[in-house]
Structure 1
Amino acid sequence: MASLRPLYPLYCPPTQFTPSSPPWIQTKAYPQPLFPISSAELQHSVQSQSPVAVSVSFNPSGNLDLPLYDDEDNAGKASPPMPPREGRYEVVIDNDIITRLDLSPFHSATGITSPMSVKPKEFLDRTIGFTINYKREDENDPRELSEFPDIRLWFVRLDAMYPWLPVLLDWRAGELARYAAMLVPHQMSMRMGVVFNPEALELFVVKKVFVVYSWLKEHDDESPMPRLKAKDMARMLGFGIGDDLFDLVDHHN
């Protein structure tokens, strides 16, 4: 069976989302958090089939150089989140654009006007980010942006039009994490920030791996390592993808 295993294990009490993990998910418990947690960071939890309850989190700083598992002595030594990549394509949206489900700011900022016209290399090099200038009706509204249904709907439409978009985002500045929060069911925690429904996040990650891998393979002249890029994207959201999954896709292409 294809292997899919969460990365960056953390310890925390189990949340209300505690389904059993499928057999190809492997987890490992740690006595203290590997990364400091704030309201701006995203985390999802899974319950192991073993007696040990564990949580799994991705690294919000986007540090792809972390080992698969850190030991206790290295806990809490993750580098802070990185600033937006210089020269990235910046998509600016506001209340009016969001209400009208208007994707033209994305088109004008990136030059992408059709899913068939995109050449990955340029966007993989520069990446894409979002500036959300959203004015709350109630200035005391404590909700995060990912909790507003109209903002989420705008991102749902964008993702439906360009399902491979996550691979082009500015991962190291947290754009992939925020994008996932717009599309994946989650709850807000004062202590942990955004807590994903683990099954929903797992399905989201696997679906995007399939989409991104196939899309990059169609442009293999510009993206010579589609497996690696798809794996890196999954790893940013806390999952390790085995080559056997890609072998199955290729064999039954």
Structure 2
Amino acid sequence: MASTVIKPLLPLSPSLKHNLPSFTPWISCKPISDSMTYCLPNLHFSRQQGQVAVSVAFNPSGNFDISMFEEEDDSPKVDPPLPPTKGRFEVVIDNDVIRRLDLSPFQSATGIASPLSTEPKEFLERTIGFTINYTKEDPHDIRELSEFPDIRLWFVRLDSTYPWLPVLLDWRAGELARYAAMLVPHQMSAKMGLVFNPEALELFVMKKAFTVYTWLKEHNIPKPRLKTCDMARMLGFGIGDELFDLVDKNPLSLP
């Protein structure tokens, strides 16, 4: 049986193709509707000292210049995220909440008290976003919010409690990219935006695909494959149908 793989969606530039290994062809999921395509981050691949760098065109500071090199100024530009979706569930956290690893603001804002009793439909329609009111100890600290260990730890606890949360976020406003930045190793680049560790990002996407697909099916959400594919595409990855076929053929027997 052929192995199941996920691959970056966007093609390599001609100047980089010869530096990277070839990949097994894959079958992509159905494309996101035209109204969503502008949200799809561009990925760029390069070989730098033996490493492959992946750049996602989202930067919490608002910088969206993702040219890999200063002389290459003709790379595709990505529109900034849209304003927050009207009527979304807004989770507001501050230093005190973060310091105490307190998830109650999330529970109060969304009404999700138990991860086992959540009905996805309303949240899929309204979406969820975060307002982070974080006061830095040093006002001259230039780090982005996703680079502060205490903020990231709060999101790690949130994600471990609600592992299917990424599918409910306000994707159009950039919430999925920021959420991933809290959980996936990355660096900030003025030219490339948010630069993820490629293997870590792929593992994150795969783990969330398994979790989200199963969760949507359990709640009888229509087209769970398409919704899961859309989520992966927002981070620049495509998932073949063969992966979902394997999951369906080998369901888990939960205690």
3-state secondary structure, aligned to 1:76: coil
2:227 is aligned to: 229
Gaps of 5+ in 1: 27-40, 62-73
2:244 is aligned to: 246
What is the CA-CA distance between 1:179 and the residue it aligns to?
0.2
With over 3 angstroms needed to count, the CA separation of the structure-2 counterparts of 1:151 and 1:78, relative to structure 1, is closer
What is the CA-CA distance between 1:42 and the residue it aligns to?
7.6
Percent identity of paired positions between Structure 1 and Structure 2? 67
- Residue by residue over 1:194-241, the C-alpha shift from the partner in whole angstroms, topping out at 9 and shown as x without a partner, is 210000000000000000000001011xx1111010000000000000
Paired amino acid for 1:239:
F
Q: Distance in 2 between matches of 1:251 and 1:11?
A: 37
3-state secondary structure, aligned to 1:5: strand
Counterpart of 1:8 (choices 1, 10, 14) is: 10
1:96 aligns with 2:78: no
TM-score, normalised on structure 2?
0.76
Q: Distance in 1 between matches of 2:198 and 2:208?
A: 15
Contact map agreement 1:227 1:246 (CA 8 A) in 2: yes
1:126 aligns with 2:123: no
Q: Distance in 2 between matches of 1:105 and 1:21?
A: 46
With over 3 angstroms needed to count, the CA separation of the structure-2 counterparts of 1:178 and 1:42, relative to structure 1, is farther
Q: Which moved more, 1:182-191 or 1:227-236?
A: 182-191
- Residue by residue over 1:81-127, the C-alpha shift from the partner in whole angstroms, topping out at 9 and shown as x without a partner, is 21110000000000000000000000000000001110000000000
Contact map agreement 1:20 1:47 (CA 8 A) in 2: no
- Residue by residue over 1:121-149, the C-alpha shift from the partner in whole angstroms, topping out at 9 and shown as x without a partner, is 00000000000000000000000000000
- Residue by residue over 1:21-68, the C-alpha shift from the partner in whole angstroms, topping out at 9 and shown as x without a partner, is 864679xxxxxxxxxxxxxx98766568xxxx986555659xxxxxxx
Q: Distance in 1 between matches of 2:248 and 2:177?
A: 28
Q: Distance in 2 between matches of 1:94 and 1:81?
A: 23
TM-score, normalised on structure 1?
0.77
Q: Distance in 2 between matches of 1:5 and 1:157?
A: 29
Q: Distance in 2 between matches of 1:243 and 1:42?
A: 22
Paired amino acid for 1:243:
D
What is the CA-CA distance between 1:164 and the residue it aligns to?
0.1
1:66 is aligned to: none
With over 3 angstroms needed to count, the CA separation of the structure-2 counterparts of 1:233 and 1:75, relative to structure 1, is same
Q: Which moved more, 1:205-214 or 1:80-89?
A: 80-89
Paired amino acid for 2:172:
R
Contact map agreement 1:83 1:173 (CA 8 A) in 2: yes
Mapping 1:59-74, distance limit 5 Å: 60=58
With over 3 angstroms needed to count, the CA separation of the structure-2 counterparts of 1:58 and 1:149, relative to structure 1, is closer
Q: Distance in 2 between matches of 1:25 and 1:199?
A: 18
With over 3 angstroms needed to count, the CA separation of the structure-2 counterparts of 1:100 and 1:88, relative to structure 1, is same
Q: Between the two structures, name the one with larger relative contact order (CA 8 Å, sep ≥ 6).
A: 2
